[in-house]
């Protein structure tokens, strides 16, 4: 699969998973639904690896790193996300999740000693303004403001876990651990640990035998977890996190379009301006403006002036 196909698979599928998660919320405890999703996804990936005779020989240190990746990326991240979407609209949750761009920079500074660039601060400022514009109507007219703030906090927390999981994933790839096998074990570890947490928390392992629940579960496990994660992490390994980060600019738009049809999301002037601000903020924070022809011409003119 070429890089363009990997990008489209990641962006379109992840943009659609937010609305699919809403079909998982109801009779089944969110944590239990997360367990079902990643146990099924892990089983699918393990089966594929076995059929294609891929190696599972990894050191104890490798498994420790995969375990950490699994808990962060497939466990805590989605537990917080599922509960968060019970409090706010799925499209708004998708938009909030783009904050991972900024968390990636912060954690890269903490764990990889990479400097924080001015463009990140500027992009973050623009992004925060956009988020405020989008969520202010929700908070002002919402009947339960506390629940809305709780949902916002959980989605942001999920982005923190996802960002830390991305760093763990980058380290597994540096150790030459294949993406498929790492995801198979990581999803398996996450599902087993969170099943244990659910048992000790007294949650019942109920199952909703409806087309909506079963269909969305299969979609989230096969497409949202196996295909999208596999495509994105492969893309990340090929072209690096900066260019792969373009996915973050696309999937919120997909999520909002789907929410318009399925959740009757009402677009407001503030919402449209806020969405544009967030996309611009992410664009600036990731340094994508450097690729624009206008910026290149300006840079060349500045260089020419300095050499006179």
On the question of pLDDT at 178 being above 70, the answer is: yes
> What does the pLDDT average to over 182-193?
95
**Minimum mean pLDDT range among 54-58, 64-68, 96-100:** 96-100
The alpha carbon of residue 161 and the mean position of all alpha carbons in its chain are separated, in whole angstroms, by 10
> Higher pLDDT residue, 200 or 285?
200
Measured CA to CA, the distance from residue 109 to residue 115 in angstroms comes to 6
Token pair recorded at residue 19: 């609305």
Q: Residue 258's closest CA among 142, 75, 90? A: 90
What is the pTM for the complete model shown? Answer: 0.81
pLDDT of residue 4: 75
Structure tokens at 194: 């969170």
Contact 232, 248 (CB under 8 A): no
Tens of pLDDT, residue by residue over 153-176, are 999 999 999 989 888 887 887 888
């Amino acid at each position: 699969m070429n890089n363009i196909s990997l990008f489209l698979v990641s962006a379109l599928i992840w943009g659609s998973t937010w609305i699919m998660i809403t079909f998982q919320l109801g009779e089944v405890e969110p944590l239990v639904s997360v367990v079902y999703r990643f146990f099924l996804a892990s089983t699918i990936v393990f089966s594929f690896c076995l059929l294609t005779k891929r190696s599972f020989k990894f050191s104890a240190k490798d498994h420790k790193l995969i375990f950490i990746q699994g808990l962060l990326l497939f466990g805590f991240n989605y537990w917080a996300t599922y509960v968060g979407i019970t409090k706010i609209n799925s499209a708004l949750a998708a938009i909030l999740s783009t904050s991972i761009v900024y968390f990636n920079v912060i954690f890269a500074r903490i764990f990889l000693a990479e400097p924080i660039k001015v463009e990140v601060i500027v992009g973050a400022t623009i992004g925060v303004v956009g988020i405020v514009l989008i969520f202010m109507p929700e908070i002002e007219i919402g009947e339960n403001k506390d629940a809305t703030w709780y949902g916002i906090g959980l989605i942001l927390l999920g982005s923190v876990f996802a960002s830390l999981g991305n760093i763990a994933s980058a380290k597994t790839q540096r150790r030459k651990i294949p993406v498929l096998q790492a995801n198979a074990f990581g999803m398996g570890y996450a599902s087993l640990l969170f099943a244990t947490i659910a048992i000790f928390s007294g949650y019942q392992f109920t199952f909703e035998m409806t087309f909506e629940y079963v269909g969305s579960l299969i979609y989230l496990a096969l497409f949202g977890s196996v295909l999208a994660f596999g495509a994105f992490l492969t893309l990340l390994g090929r072209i690096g996190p900066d260019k792969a980060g373009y996915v973050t600019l696309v999937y919120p738009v997909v999520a909002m379009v789907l929410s318009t049809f399925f959740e009757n999301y009402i677009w407001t002037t503030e919402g449209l301006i806020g969405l544009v601000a967030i996309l611009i903020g992410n664009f600036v924070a990731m340094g994508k403006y450097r690729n624009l022809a206008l910026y290149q011409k300006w840079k060349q003119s500045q260089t020419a002036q300095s050499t006179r």
